Structure 1
Amino acid sequence: MSRVQFYRWSVVLVSSLVSGLVLPGGAEERSPLTPLKKVGTEQRLEVPLLKGDLGGSKPTDQATMSHLRPRPATTVKEWVAQIEAATVQITGVTLNRTDTGLEIVLQTAEGKPLQVDATKFRTEGTSLIADIPNAVLALPTGQEFVADNPVADVTTIRIAQQDANTIRVSVTGNNALPKSEVTLKAGGLAYSLNPDADEPDEEIVATGERRETYRVPNASTATRTDTPLRDIPQSIQVVPEAVLRDQNVVHLEEVLRNVPSGNQISPSTQSDSITSLRGFPIFPLGGNFLRNGLRERLGAVPVIFTNIDRIEFLQGPASVLFGPGNPGGTINLITKQPLREPFYSLDATIGSFDFYQVAADLSGPLNDSRNVLYRLNASYLDRNSFIDIFEENQFFVAPVLSWAIGDSTKLTIEGDYTDSQTSYVPGLPAVGTVLPNPNGRIPRNRYLGEPDTALNTTIARIGYSLEHQFSNDWSLKNAFRFSSLRLDEVSINPDSLEPNNRTLNRFSRFTDIENDAYELALDLTGNFSTGSIEHQLILGANLGRTYFDIRDSFGSVAPIDLFNPVYGQPFETPPLTRINTFIRKDLGIYVQDQVTLLENLKLLLGVRFDIFDQTDRFFRASTGITESNNQSGSAFSPRVGIVYQPIRPISLYASYTSSFVPVIGVAFDGSEFQPERGTQYEVGIKADVNDRLSTTLAFYNLTRSNALTSDPDNQGFSIQTGEQRSRGVELNVAGEILPGWNITAGYAYTNARITRDNDLPVGNRLDNVPENSFNLWTTYQIQQGTLRGLGFGLGLFYVGERQANLDNTFSLPSYLRTDATIFYQRDRLRASLNFQNLFNVDYFQSSYGELEVFPGEPFTVQGKISWEF
């Protein structure tokens, strides 16, 4: 029995059973739903007129109507025949390029019409999806039709059997919903799948309500093009806005819990965004943070989620596309862009420890032709903490303006501004937290600084993106951003612990930072063929400059008793101790080719050449001498990967990637650091389950040479310890199990160790890296009935034991944290309660060494109300 026959008889048998149970012999057959026709901004059902029934004419009487109805089945045999007749075979699929986009033609057996239910049409992520009932695929080439990159802004068209009598048409766009006009022709009717397209009167526009899921099929960070995850020979995870919303994310550490090998190192009470991926630390100034594909280039930058649409985590080196960067991975923050339809949203959040936040998200057109759009995100945050003395105030605003200059050119101007005042919170000594102290245990809320300490931070960014489409196959993109950071820090830091294990010696630090940077990028992207081999080629260049000036003054301050602290100890601004000014200019030229050898065999080839020049000036007040070093160099970064898909849902891949970074700064003795190098070998399996769930299993070997670690003898300086290696396994699953039931889960085994070093024992584990970690977050929202819109969520986050320093003299214990949420969404109102650390587990997040261990947040509750209007 063929697959088509199986589907057909499955429908027949199930329908026969249902008819025998619930349908009387004389039941009338309902007409199928007619498609939705777009009328302005509203949608209505178009009721077909019967022959002779014109507007304003006399209604046809019942007797006249009766002969127009199909005769009802009175026997099982007749019912089976009617079901078979109602199921339409699709025998062919044709793609035609049009002046405005693409046409998909479904050919049916004997020209039978298809029954199209417009409520099954929707958008999901970057895909247009149409479910067509009472249809089976009977294609001569198999039971699935797939076309990759038919036009520039469409990466994949897939037509497959969704269930026994339903086919699904999926059109996936390039990093967004397709801009090209995508028309589906079936049974003599034409359906425009673009939600905002203006269609001729004779065409029917079918749109549907978007149901957000945790599955994101495409990403741009790994290739600089919008590419299906299954076609990327490297592990990449996307955390979409739906996860950020359901978890009510405020800090980066809350996002990293969803990334198997991700770990937050700097605490949320400090402005640094120091994290680790695959065992190695990454931070903004190191080239590992991107914003819309451009390097961040700023240090001490907090991540604010008010205008973040999604976050893409690329695991492993990525210098071939983005230039200098540490080997652990890359974090790309994708911001919210203007919408064609008016959208207004207000949020208000209140929570434990006097947490208050309000936010606004406004978007829409600025003119009648809707070619000039805007978006404005703004927020204000005021919070305390479980720490005894802590306060944070933060204002953020991010305007975006886009202008469609004709049909082929688009200009987007985007900026943001942050003004933040935060208390400085040092960590707690290991003795009394993770190690025993004869005086007792130090409370996790203990504050060991002084009330007058603060971090005052101002950040401003402004930039543009200009895109031009030469044709359906060739496009050019130019992007630029200028960024500026000003930071004023007054902090009290631990210096040493007295033998009585209760008196902590401290020092004061006064710091001023000026950090300015710009980044310019130019990409030419083209699709072409050489015989039967298809290519997606990128030729690109990056030009950037970073200026970083830090002025430090160190002074003394009275010790503090760990178990009976007395605050208000005087400390004055000491004289200037040192000035470090760093300037780096770099230029990179790269080429990448995504090669489709066969429909199921793909290559990814890339190479980049960088040149850089950096100047480092270091002034010590103790000597009155300024040391100046100028360093120039170059780097070559290759990349190669292969993807083989034995069947459509499965991808087997292997890749080699590399990285480099001209190391910032000098050692305590003034010597320049050598550039770091990173190399990674990775193999893995990716799978898509029914277009609902995506999973990746990756095995990798990542080596970092000339790595930097903290100098244990000279506080504030670093040393290069030689070589470190991380080997591991990662598993990630994300998507929708059933309608309304979403999940994101993962597991990571990370064996990160020192492999060559002059001072530290070879074989020691890298600090703050768990060997085993696990994450699970799942939500379910009721889809029907009186409780429709009510949802629940549960999160489990396990982090294994971690070494707290490179000497491996003590460790941070493992922990299992439980989070939960309950929410209700109906129409334009959403209310939620989020519970973090539900069972109030006492755990430690990270360590800076024996004097600074950072406790995790205790049980907290946050309530949020969102209103769209």
Structure 2
Amino acid sequence: MKNLLFIVFMLISGMVFSQNGKLKGYVTNGEGKPAEFVSIQLKELRKGATTDEKGEFAIDNIKPNTYTLVASFVGFKTLERKIKIEADKTTGINLELFENSELLKEIIVKGYVNANEKVVSVGKIAIKPMDLPQSVAVVDRQILDNQQAKSMSDVLVNTNGVYIMGTTGGYQEEIAGRGFSFGSSNTFKNGVRYFNGMITDLSNVEKVEVMKGSSAILFGNVAAGGIINLVTKKPRFDFGGEISMRAGSFGLLKPTIDIYGGIGKNQKLAYRLNSSYEKANSFRQGVSSERFYINPSLLIKLGKKTDILLEADYSNDERTPDFGAGIINYEVVTLPRERFLGVAWSNYTAKQLSTTATITHNFSENWKLNFTGAYRNYETDLFANTRPNTGTLITKEGMWIRNIQRSQVAEDYYLAQLDLTGKFNTGKISHQLLFGMDTDQFETRTTAYNQLARYDTVNIFGTKNYKIRTDIPTLSVATLTTSPVNRVGVYVQDLISLTKNIKFLAGVRYSYQQTGSEVYTFASKLTTNSVYFDGAFSPRLGLVIQPNKNISLFGSYSNSFTLNTGVDVDGNALKPSLIDQFEIGIKNQLIDNKLSLNLTAYQIINSNLAQISLANGNTNANIKELVGEVTSKGVELDFVARPVKSLSVIAGYSYNETRYTKSNTFVEGSLLRYNPNHTANLSVNYNFSQGKLQGLNIGLTSLYFGDRQAGRSTRVQVVNDNFKLVLIPAYTQIDATAGYTYKNISLRAKVGNIFNVYSYNVHDDNSVNPIAPRNFSTTLSFKF
């Protein structure tokens, strides 16, 4: 399988380069809103496409000629228009469909789509960002290609306030936003939760959607701060595709393939297949990685009103875990960037498989029913040294006694979700209604092994040699913990347009959750069980005032909850912690929609925070009380513009302060760890669209990541507490990109971390992972 992509790459590369043209367009309804599921056909060729949720479509590989374009959708006047396709050119068009018998409208060239016009599908209902009392961001495929994005770290350069908070072990990218960690409950792929404890492949991602703030009404138990949704590429009825090969520093090789097309002549079936293989070493000596990814999908059109989309997603990722080293007495010690101090045979394997079926039925233009059924399984196996300073501290001379750990985790996840969306009027008041229900089920199985203490000894400075072991020990199994979670939710939301300028968003969700735990101890052959039940309402209220179509003022309030583990002093399950979120802001569309400028301020209060109980001198961390509170405050500024045709600019700034405002465990007023107070980003891209440099694309991407804390928060209830916070200094990283496209061939290049900035991602006081030094990569791609 690993060699298959190389073979396919070489075969297709040998094809005769096409001299054909392309057609891309955008379809709106009579109200100027994107029209999805519109059928676009070239009558003479029986070739076509279907518009997506943004109203966009594309048809590739068209022989030069004049054709009759037919645009049709139930309830609308069918539109026909003559289109001239020229060799090696892309014809851009804009279609406008009407319900009445007006004369057919002209086709005009499609212009720039403002950032405040990009609807996020993860919102479950197509509310325009200008009407939504919430901050959102969309990073589309063009941005990913221009910036040569390889991982989520590259994507989140464009989303201030949402960032990578750590890379513990080097095998994951830990995401956070507005001061709160985004676990797997906050990360989605096509609206379905996915496991984010492994590196994410971006080869099949069409766009990345970010909804900041509360999304509890839509998805139930999610952490505060926001959610991220990856939207994958979908099947198309016109035949085409792309193959590419990326090569770069540290032995990086990554071939990818993307093929799509229709099945049969009746335009009822369409497919898409994406796959990639990646193998690389690292700037860290002895560290390597290997990944295989495949994503097949099939679209079935049962009629003009009903579609079925079947998707599968599989990733197998294997890499060397690297917990770094370099904290002594709560101070980061400077070591050579390339020095790897883990055991040579250590390994982390992560596999994830998901299958999704989505059925969409359009009752009419205004009413739609959507059903999603999904299954996901992931398995991980970590076998490596323990983190530095866990168990045995590194001495001031640099001596580190390495222990060995192993853990295995497997999870099965099932989801059934039904959403009804509709638009209707009550008198002069218009409504955008969302009503839905969902149920999901998790079963997580964690196998913990007994650690091997004092495996061997190393010196992190390399000033003293010890006998290094290379044998792979056998560890005995300690416990098997099975954690089933069953959850059901019902929700309703309505965007009420009281007038053209005043809109009110109101909704509520009720969630009920059953959480269980079964722990089997192999040594004693004993099993302990516990079951917890929780239910809560999550309301959401928002007000939008629009003085004109280019300015939107908004304010919102939402409440949600997070579940707590452990028990109270009486052995009863803890109640959930409650989260109140407040957000106000202004969204602007300026200079004929060529520029968007948004400013948002927020406050998030996580009250009833569970902390260890101090009753009767308790030292059991599982016995807790709801006596804590964390408060996050911040401001975000987003700027996206295309001031001239070929220039695009993305910029942003965020300020966040997340502190313990009540605590019986930590110092009140102290900052939470890993969250920078300041982040800023600036990306500039210029595309030469004419002249001798036509086809050339150049860009710069910069990220400022402010000071943040690692280490361990000081505990107030412990006399002579030795815990300390570790200050990680700010840094600025700049990347440069360039690309050239000629006909169907593109060559892109990237220089990452141009100035070779040296900084770290640090977890606690035991995982110091340097950021990558200056690096290079090139990508050669061929479209057909």
Instruction: Confirm or deny a common fold (TM above 0.5).
Output: yes
Structure number with the bigger relative contact order (C-alpha 8 A, sep ≥ 6) is 2
Shift of 1:570: 4.0
2:170 aligned with 1:282, yes or no?
A: no
| Alignment correspondent of 1:85 | none
SS at 1:598 equivalent:
coil
Distance change (3 Å), C-alpha of 1:269 and 1:683: same
Q: Distance in 1 between matches of 2:169 and 2:190?
A: 26
Contact 1:216 1:238 in 2 (8 A): no
Distance change (3 Å), C-alpha of 1:490 and 1:150: closer
SS at 2:143 equivalent:
helix
Q: After superposition, where does 1:61-80 map in structure 2 within 5 Å?
A: none
| Alignment correspondent of 1:616 | 517
Distance change (3 Å), C-alpha of 1:586 and 1:228: same
Q: Which 5+ residue runs of structure 2 have no aligned equivalent?
A: 1-18, 39-50, 58-70, 84-91, 715-723
| Alignment correspondent of 1:237 | 137
Q: After superposition, where does 1:123-138 map in structure 2 within 5 Å?
A: 123=25
Q: Distance in 2 between matches of 1:489 and 1:718?
A: 29
| Alignment correspondent of 1:331 | 228
- 665-674 vs 254-263, which moves further: 665-674
2:310 aligned with 1:413, yes or no?
A: yes
Distance change (3 Å), C-alpha of 1:476 and 1:184: closer
Cα-to-partner distance string for 1:388-439 (whole Å, 9 max, x where unaligned): 121111000000100111100000000011112111111323239x9365xx
Cα-to-partner distance string for 1:263-289 (whole Å, 9 max, x where unaligned): 2133286443421100111111xx111
Shift of 1:195: 11
Q: Distance in 1 between matches of 2:663 and 2:758?
A: 35
| Alignment correspondent of 2:435 | 539
Shift of 1:227: 2.2
Aligned length: 704
2:503 aligned with 1:591, yes or no?
A: no
Q: Distance in 2 between matches of 1:394 and 1:716?
A: 38
What amino acid sits opposite 2:367 in the alignment? W
2:725 aligned with 1:809, yes or no?
A: yes
Distance change (3 Å), C-alpha of 1:317 and 1:617: same
User: Max radius of gyration: which structure?
Assistant: 1
| Alignment correspondent of 2:300 | 403
What amino acid sits opposite 2:459 in the alignment? D
| Alignment correspondent of 1:849 | 764
Cα-to-partner distance string for 1:637-674 (whole Å, 9 max, x where unaligned): 00011111101111000001222233467899998554
Contact 2:25 2:94 in 1 (8 A): no
Shift of 1:717: 8.9
What amino acid sits opposite 1:726 in the alignment? S
| Alignment correspondent of 2:373 | 480
Distance change (3 Å), C-alpha of 1:600 and 1:195: closer
Shift of 1:514: 1.3
2:583 aligned with 1:682, yes or no?
A: yes
Q: 1:470 aligns with which of 351, 355, 363?
A: 363
2:750 aligned with 1:834, yes or no?
A: yes
Q: After superposition, where does 1:716-865 map in structure 2 within 5 Å?
A: 722-805=628-711, 806-807=713-714, 809-844=725-760, 846-865=761-780
Q: RMSD of the alignment, in Å?
A: 3.5
Shift of 1:547: 0.7
Distance change (3 Å), C-alpha of 1:792 and 1:43: closer
SS at 1:448 equivalent:
coil
SS at 1:242 equivalent:
helix
Cα-to-partner distance string for 1:611-645 (whole Å, 9 max, x where unaligned): 11111122345655432110112110000111111
Contact 1:696 1:732 in 2 (8 A): yes
Contact 2:444 2:482 in 1 (8 A): yes
| Alignment correspondent of 1:115 | none
Cα-to-partner distance string for 1:338-390 (whole Å, 9 max, x where unaligned): 12221210110001111110101111111112221111110000011111121
Distance change (3 Å), C-alpha of 1:497 and 1:183: same
Shift of 1:300: 2.4
Q: 1:292 aligns with which of 187, 190, 206?
A: 190
Q: Distance in 1 between matches of 2:21 and 2:474?
A: 67
| Alignment correspondent of 1:349 | 246
Shift of 1:539: 1.1
Shift of 1:699: 0.4
Cα-to-partner distance string for 1:585-609 (whole Å, 9 max, x where unaligned): 1000001111111112111111101
SS at 1:738 equivalent:
coil
| Alignment correspondent of 1:177 | 56
- Give the alignment's TM-score, normalised by structure 1: 0.75
Contact 2:323 2:766 in 1 (8 A): no
Identity %: 26
Q: Distance in 2 between matches of 1:389 and 1:305?
A: 25
Cα-to-partner distance string for 1:130-149 (whole Å, 9 max, x where unaligned): xxxxxxxxxxxxxxxx9376
Contact 1:214 1:743 in 2 (8 A): no
| Alignment correspondent of 1:258 | 158
| Alignment correspondent of 1:502 | 398
Contact 2:133 2:554 in 1 (8 A): yes
What amino acid sits opposite 1:704 in the alignment? N
Q: Distance in 2 between matches of 1:349 and 1:716?
A: 48
Distance change (3 Å), C-alpha of 1:122 and 1:188: closer
Q: After superposition, where does 1:107-126 map in structure 2 within 5 Å?
A: 123=25
What amino acid sits opposite 1:766 in the alignment? L
2:415 aligned with 1:519, yes or no?
A: yes
Shift of 1:783: 1.5
| Alignment correspondent of 2:8 | none
Distance change (3 Å), C-alpha of 1:266 and 1:624: farther
Contact 1:213 1:242 in 2 (8 A): no
SS at 1:245 equivalent:
helix
2:339 aligned with 1:446, yes or no?
A: yes
| Alignment correspondent of 1:561 | 459
Q: After superposition, where does 1:65-104 map in structure 2 within 5 Å?
A: none
Distance change (3 Å), C-alpha of 1:347 and 1:188: closer
- Give the alignment's TM-score, normalised by structure 2: 0.83
Q: Distance in 2 between matches of 1:477 and 1:173?
A: 15
Contact 1:214 1:242 in 2 (8 A): no
Cα-to-partner distance string for 1:749-788 (whole Å, 9 max, x where unaligned): 0011111111110111111111111001111011110111
Q: Distance in 1 between matches of 2:474 and 2:663?
A: 39
- 449-458 vs 504-513, which moves further: 504-513
Q: Distance in 2 between matches of 1:490 and 1:669?
A: 38
SS at 1:737 equivalent:
coil
What amino acid sits opposite 2:656 in the alignment? T
SS at 1:353 equivalent:
helix
Contact 1:793 1:820 in 2 (8 A): yes
SS at 1:243 equivalent:
helix
What amino acid sits opposite 1:293 in the alignment? G
Distance change (3 Å), C-alpha of 1:379 and 1:672: farther
Contact 1:214 1:744 in 2 (8 A): no
Distance change (3 Å), C-alpha of 1:741 and 1:506: same
What amino acid sits opposite 2:31 in the alignment? A
What amino acid sits opposite 2:606 in the alignment? R
Distance change (3 Å), C-alpha of 1:229 and 1:787: same
Shift of 1:790: 0.9
Distance change (3 Å), C-alpha of 1:534 and 1:248: same
Shift of 1:311: 0.9
Shift of 1:470: 1.1
2:31 aligned with 1:147, yes or no?
A: yes
What amino acid sits opposite 2:159 in the alignment? V
Q: Distance in 2 between matches of 1:360 and 1:195?
A: 34
Contact 1:295 1:519 in 2 (8 A): no
Cα-to-partner distance string for 1:10-39 (whole Å, 9 max, x where unaligned): xxxxxxxxxxxxxxxxxxxxxxxxxxxxxx
| Alignment correspondent of 2:597 | 695
Q: Distance in 1 between matches of 2:566 and 2:271?
A: 41
